Amino acid sequence: MSDQELHKKLEHATRKMREAQKEYFRIRSQQFLQLSKQWEREVDKILQELENSKHGRQMSLL
Q: Find, among 14, 37, 33, the residue nearest to 23 by Cα.
A: 33
Q: How confident is the model at residue 1 (pLDDT cuts 50, 70, 90)?
A: confident
Band of the pLDDT at 54, cuts 50, 70, 90?
confident
Return the domain boundaries, the chain.
3-61
Q: Tell me the per-residue pLDDT of 12-47, one tens digit each, with 9 for 90 and over.
A: 999 999 999 999 999 999 999 999 999 999 999 999
Closest CA to 41 of 1, 13, 21, 18: 13
Q: Where are the alpha helices (DSSP H) in the chain?
A: 3-27, 30-61
Phi and psi at 40, nearest 5°, equal -65, -40
Buried b / exposed e along 6-29 (16+ C-beta atoms within 10 A) = eeebbeebbebbeebbebbeeeee
Q: What is the pTM of this model?
A: 0.84
